[in-house]
Chains A and B, each alone.
Chain A
Amino acid sequence: DIVMTQSPDSLAVSLGERATINCKSSQSVLYNSNSKNYLAWYQQKPGQPPKVLIYWASTRESGVPDRFSGSGSGTDFTLTISSLQAEDVAVYYCQQYYTSTRTFGQGTKVEIK
């Protein structure tokens, strides 16, 4: 299985400041034939199911605010919240779908400083 490792495990950011979450895969999730990275990002608030934010590493899901952006390629990816809002307090997960056995990162908890 592809192992997804996120860093940091948690971070505290002031309102309006940038939050950056990293995700590293144990093998490349870039499919060379279509140049797509098979990676998604999710947001999970307490007591709720996860919600997809980003897929193909950088494509925002419809309705997701543009302060959320995804970048990276191959094995190293980043989710950036450009200006943290109070409603962004949550746990964020990356997930690969390069293999049929989908795997998730361990999660990064984002809090307000």
Chain B
Amino acid sequence: QVQLQQWGAGLLKPSETLSLTCAVYGGSFSGYYWSWIRQPPGKRLEWIGEINPSGSTIYNPSLKSRVTISVDTSENQLSLQLNSVTAADTAVYYCAGEPGYCIGGHCYGGWFGPWGQGALVTVSS
């Protein structure tokens, strides 16, 4: 059974860079799509971006200019960097795996299966 464990700095000042890492245990790292999702206090879940088994990324257009998602396949880890944070980036951040699906010879991520435990990141001066 795939398990995800995530870590990173929990308190940032405005304009700093958010950096989180998620380690994947007990499953096929290369068999999943991987996403980062966040949940601001009292607000709905927001998808941040995804990296597929080939290493290609797609990002939420609302965050695209500030986000980088990467993987280290040798360590079975994925990472999130979000630049120039503001108070609006305060949220619980989750990593999540997507089993994915294929149609017409193309494969995509879709729903989110295993999730990390979440990490609260607070941006405050």
Q: A: which residues have CB within 8 A of B? A: 31, 33-34, 38, 40, 42, 49-52, 55, 61, 93, 95, 97, 100-107
With A101-B61, A103-B47, A105-B44 known as contacts, the answer to whether A52 contacts B116 (CB < 8 A) is no
Main secondary structure on B side of the interface with A: loop
Alpha-carbon distance A42/B94, docked complex (angstroms):
14
State which size class the interface on B falls in. 20 to 34
A-B CB contacts (within 8 Å), total count: 51
Q: How far is the CB of B91 from chain A (nearest CB, A)?
A: 13
With A33-B104, A100-B58, A101-B61 known as contacts, the answer to whether A50 contacts B112 (CB < 8 A) is yes
Which of A33, A61, A95 has the most chain B CB atoms inside 10 A of its CB? A95
Shortest beta-carbon contacts, A-B, top 10? A49-B115, A40-B111, A97-B110, A104-B45, A102-B47, A55-B111, A106-B44, A104-B44, A100-B58, A49-B118
